[in-house]
Structure 1
């Protein structure tokens, strides 16, 4: 079993995404902290807008809570929008959010290594912040390519290996996890550095774009709320968020606490 929780299938399918609460809390904490960097869902929709024909079939692979799915529905107005995820809880959330926005989409519960979709069915596919859950991301990209029509566009999105690395040092300094700085990056299997190489195995890569995002946690409670949502650390302190916040206040310099991440986008087509 990998020491990286993002590559532990038991943890990924049995705990991290069994419900939508952890991901919602993580997203909320990061959005509150973000001070610089584009909206990822907007960027994905913009990258596809000029390339997707009218009446398109669009796949959102690893759709999560449906934030990108909603943006694709609104911006691209596809004839068919298919949201794919291995978590039924996240698909339920995506379905509900689409319904509240009066948008239409089909939900497919599936592992992205074996998509239950025909060959050459889609004009475009998105896989954002999900392929780093695969120990063999090239296999998942090949499956996405299989589902694209010739000339169809894929947008693959991931993060850099050193994303949020500043938090490793804060968690270590606070004594919350003495091994924090030695733990593997959550993004080690599919990251900014190998994105082009992996995508190019099955697709023709047109461009890879990188953007730095910066985050500013204003106080210890805000940072503690985020830390409880990341599976990277082994924090055994009892008392939950309040206890973590107290420890941060006692052992770290005064806030704010800052960190950054590089978000990378590969734009590629099926030959």
Structure 2
């Protein structure tokens, strides 16, 4: 995120989408579900800005959930909890959620339609879902950088990380279970001011087939990049797509 030069903070955009589509004077939300909540960055913003009665963050990784719990310490008037669970089988009752948010998580599923069906199941009749993903060609300039350095000559040929749920198909996927209200695309741009800065991101990107001693080791990766390439800034981009949808048959 230190490299970001344009594009709204995604959690803020999600809150704006929910408040805009719920309208002025909407009652306080009961339950907000944050699927694939990770370290709770979005969860904290959702809790602070929406002030629901209850927020549940759901993720499969215990370490990330521990970070998320720490992130919401001190929140008042919002019952925030974090549950280890699979978003294909949400531990929530039918029609229990006033809002469900899935930020940068659906593309981790080989069958995102299953996760979307679960979102539809747990949404209240007047509930809203905000789904967020990235374009297939996100960060292609970084692919070219890794290939040019000879660290993974096929970096530009590997399948996108976002293949199953991307900017081009997210609305269509959502429409299998939900009623899509709006789809918005926004370009986000990033400038890594040095090879060392880029290495901080590249070292943990699962897309690249890096030598074992470089994966997870930004310092070693930066040294390898310096050996092969001149040290200069790298600018890249990604299209972020927001789909707002509602329960089919929900009140208008």
**TM-score if structure 2 supplies the norm length?**
0.92
Partner Cα separation in structure 1 for residue 213 and residue 91 of structure 2: 43
The equivalences for 1:157-236 within 5 A come to 157-236=132-211
2:3 corresponds in structure 1 to: 33
d(CA) in 2 for partners of 1:133 and 1:145?
19
TM-score (norm 1): 0.85
Matching residue within 15, 18, 22 for 1:48:
18
- In structure 2, stretches of 5+ residues that fail to align are none
1:171-208 deviation per Cα after TM superposition (whole angstroms, max 9, x unaligned) = 00001111211110000000000011000011110000
Is 1:251 the equivalent of 2:236?
no
Is the 8 Å Cα contact of residues 132 and 186 (structure 1) preserved in structure 2? yes
RMSD of equivalent CA atoms:
1.4
- Aligned 8 A contact 2:53 2:79 in 1: no
Structure 1 runs, 4 residues or longer, greater than 4 Å off: 100-103
Match in the other structure for 2:63: 89
The answer to whether the Cα contact below 8 Å between 1:45 and 1:75 also exists between their aligned partners in 2 is yes
Please report how far the alpha carbon of residue 234 of structure 1 lies from its aligned counterpart in structure 2 after TM superposition.
1.1
Is the 1:132–1:190 Cα contact (8 Å) retained in structure 2? yes
1:237/1:244 contact within 8 Å kept: no
1:6 maps to which residue?
A: none
Deviation track 1:124-157 (CA, whole Å, cap 9, x = no partner) reads 1000000001111011000011000112100000
Post-superposition Cα deviations, 1:60-88, rounded to whole Å, max 9, x if no partner, equal: 01101111100111111101111111111
User: How many matched pairs?
Assistant: 241
The answer to whether the 8 Å contact 1:120/1:150 transfers is yes
Tell me the CA shift for residue 49 of structure 1: 1.7
Check conservation: 1:98, 1:104, Cα contact below 8 A: no
Distance in 2 between the 1:152 and 1:112 partners? 18
Equivalent residue of 1:168, what SS?
Answer: helix
Shift of 1:101: 4.4
